[in-house]
Structure 1
Amino acid sequence: MKKGFVFDLDGVITDTAKFHFLAWRDLGKEIGIDVDLKFNEQLKGISRMDSLERILVHGKRQNDFTPEEKEALAAKKNTHYVELLQDLTPADLLPGVKDFLEAAKARQIPCAIASASKNAPFILKKLEVFERFDAIVDPATLHKGKPDPEIFVKAAELLGFTPEECVGFEDAQAGLDGIKACGMYAVGVLSGEPLHGADQTVHKLTELDLDALLNA
């Protein structure tokens, strides 16, 4: 019997990927690197600094910046990203998310957020679902990013369960790999690129049978 739900944020609860893309694209322009939509797929589900490192390698500029300059670039991107998020509202919840979270609450199933985004609390408050989550993993407490399973193990621990007692929801392959690596049941949320290794895939959360999921 499953006892807890662990959610990624971007692409599962809301689609802020478009804002990440715009912020990275604009930063790329400033440093002479073209970040297009196709390359942006490689940045889904990974941390801000890991994303920056991939962009610098993509533009063959990985040796052109000091660690301090990289931190400044990442901070600049995040400032722009947060500016773009100011207009986020509950209407930006992905289809079916509100109903699914309400159904989980009615069943007293605790929920956690396992996202590489340091802006998760801010985003959840803008979406007016912050109170629906019992725990949010702080990315600053982690040693490794996705696809390492650490963030999902931590989320389960915060809920008081083992990974095997939880269901994880992800839209990115890196996150899905992390879920499976710790023995958690994996639901892949399809949002573009195909996903491999999920126990089941859906386009929206209301496609799931809650009873069947809890007994998976």
Structure 2
Amino acid sequence: MIITYRGHVMLEVKNSYLKLTLLLIVLFISMILGMYVYQHAHSKTTQQVDLIHATYVQPGRVLTPFQLQKTDGTTLSPATLAGHWSILFFGYTQCRSICPTTMDMLHKVYVQLRKDQVKTLPEMVMVSLDGQRDSLEVMNQYVKAFDPDFRGAIGPMKTIQGLTQELGVVYDDSQVSRPDGQIDHSGSLTVVNPAGEVVAFFIPPMQAMDVAKDLETLMNTFQMN
């Protein structure tokens, strides 16, 4: 779509961006409605948590089985997510905007958590949406450039596609085969508790201080059943 004023091009929006925006709107509405129905169907077990920015999911949702390779030599799966807090972010190393911005914000979150003397930091894992260009070595160099405690993960695109659909992550990799091809994708964060349950989502735009405070609230109110 091109908007002109007195013969001059004022704004150009790519069709892929419009498509992604519409998908994000529909997905977000569907996710909110789904969580509303799910929470009210289990109202006897819900717990109120006062969060600044995050969307709280209660009761938590257990992920369906999957397995990816992590940059630290271990695997990422529902089983390995259990036992500690985790933050999942989906992106790719050739990304020009969403990924570096989000990763830098997450580094600031970690700085704040360390400042607040959080004993055990959540594990931050960036899952690659680029099966062609992102190897374990490339991912490891990328994530550690933002924070030495960050991890990356790669795997079969069919597996990642199923995981993104389950978590409401939207992406379009139809242009990835072109030189310097970009992948349009959403920038949400998924929070998984030590029981291996998805308990919160962060939707952009996000402020590091708000994310850090919400993570601390979630960790402080968690009780293993």
Q: TM-score, normalised by structure 1?
A: 0.34
More strand by share: 2
Larger Rg: 2
Bigger helix fraction: 1
Q: TM-score, normalised by structure 2?
A: 0.33
